[in-house]
Amino acid sequence: MMAVNRYRLKALAAQGHRAAKLTQKLLDKTDELLGVVLIGSNLLNSASAALVTVISFRLFGQDELALTLSTLVVTFLILVFAELTPKVAGATYPDQVAHASSFILAVLRKLLYPAVWFVNLFVIGLLKLFRLRRSGNGDQGHLSMEELRTMVSESGKFLPGQHREILLNLLSLESVTVDDVMTPRNQIEALDLTEEPERLVQQISTSHHTRVPVYEGTLDDIVGILHIRRALHPILSGEVTAESLREVVLEPYFVPSGASLFTQLKHFQDNQKRMALVVDEYGELKGLVSLEDILEELVGEFTTQAPGQMGWLKPTEDGGWLVEGTALVRNLNRKLGLDFPLDGPRTLNGVILERLEDIPEAGVSVKIGEIPIEIVQTQGRAVKVAKLYPIQPKEAEVIA
């Protein structure tokens, strides 16, 4: 009765399962249930010992050896048939045993109620004497996020693997921030209004996004967000200028660095936005996060990607992997089954620079954890391409 799964029990009771309803009713009064079980158990064990003593005296007289042997025999029988066997069976099949025994216990609860009430008077008094608070009638209380995550992880055959992964990702949204999934500043595709009209038309026509930020001179001076569809009329009429684009851009939406994805998802919903610009405490642009980025964190990457986002992970003939330095650590862990820490740098380049404490050159190798990493190519002050090997990917997804 104590080992029964309370949440499965509630689900069965909600479906009208009679035994589940009765079991739940018994568990709602844990003190009375325990009183019935223990009074019955101790009463029968004491009666058995007394009965064996009487039988021993009548058959063998006051023979101490016979009394000792009979005591050992009855102890063995009680342990095997009244204690260990039923308790092991109950612990192994708690739901089945609880449902079956609930009918018997419900009757015994009514029959032994006066005795249970009398015994519980002393129990309550002792609890108050030692300042111990009674639990809420067997209520298991609310589940914490970690407990809920553990339940989902161990759901096994009861939940399809893909569904389980989505639920775990959903439970992790509170601990993941916009910095973990955003497009870094140096990878943002944006329009500069100071460019020539021909250049603006070319960028708009070849853009792989439906929305692009618009700035003037520097990315820290964001003018707004341009929906490509709203730029079709100026393009067709041949009037693409900085002024015409200013008239059709939408007001930019800024969010602070460090905001959780769950909070940001709620803000997207409340403000009816699909894209936000991430800024630090000084107001400088750090990156861009979109609704699609959050959805991909939940359900995995979509099949449609811009060419600039493809090819960041490629296998090599010797069993290694070529990885771009801008690859997010979270994506690497997910794709290759690695365990790079997530509480530090968010890109592979950042992890390498933190480990070396210097700007590396091509050909330099470093071991982070159990993963050997070779610097293949650098660009400016960053690692452009690195090679991780040997790695045995855990169902790694090969990115073409």
DSSP string, 315-368: E-TTS-EEEETT-BHHHHHHHH-----SSS-SBHHHHHHHHHSS---TT-EEEE
Tens-level pLDDT at each residue, the chain (400 residues): 888 888 888 888 889 899 999 999 999 888 889 999 999 888 888 898 889 888 888 888 878 888 888 889 888 998 999 889 988 998 899 988 999 999 999 999 999 999 999 998 898 889 888 888 766 554 455 677 777 778 787 776 777 877 888 888 888 888 888 988 888 888 889 999 999 888 888 888 888 888 999 999 889 899 999 998 888 888 888 788 888 888 889 999 999 998 999 999 999 999 999 999 999 988 899 999 999 888 888 887 665 555 445 457 888 888 888 998 888 888 888 888 888 888 888 888 999 998 888 888 898 998 888 889 999 999 888 899 999 875 554 444 444 3
Prior bond of 372 cis (ω within 30°): no
Report the alpha-carbon distance of residue 251 to residue 270 in Å, rounded.
Answer: 16
Cβ–Cβ under 8 Å, residues 289 and 278: yes
Question: How many angstroms separate the CA atoms of 72 and 52, rounded?
Answer: 10
CATH superfamily ID and name for 178-299: CBS-domain (3.10.580.10)
Looking at the chain, which residues constitute the CATH 3.10.580.10 domain(s)? 178-299
Cα–Cα distance, 152 to 147 (Å, whole number): 9
Give the model's pLDDT for residue 192.
92
Q: Are 285 and 220 in contact (CB under 8 A)?
A: yes
Q: Looking at the chain, which residues constitute the CATH 3.30.465.10 domain(s)?
A: 311-388
What per-residue confidence (pLDDT) applies to 397?
44
C-alpha–C-alpha distance, residues 201 and 219, integer Å: 19
- Does the global pTM surpass 0.85? no
Distances (CA, A) of 19 to 6, 98, 106, 356: 13, 8, 11, 64
Within 10 A of 223 (CB to CB), how many other CB atoms are there? 19
The domain 311-388 is placed in CATH, from the list 3.40.190.10, 1.10.287.70, 3.40.50.170, 3.30.465.10, at 3.30.465.10
**Residues 394, 6: Cα–Cα separation, whole Å:** 35
* pLDDT value, residue 257: 92
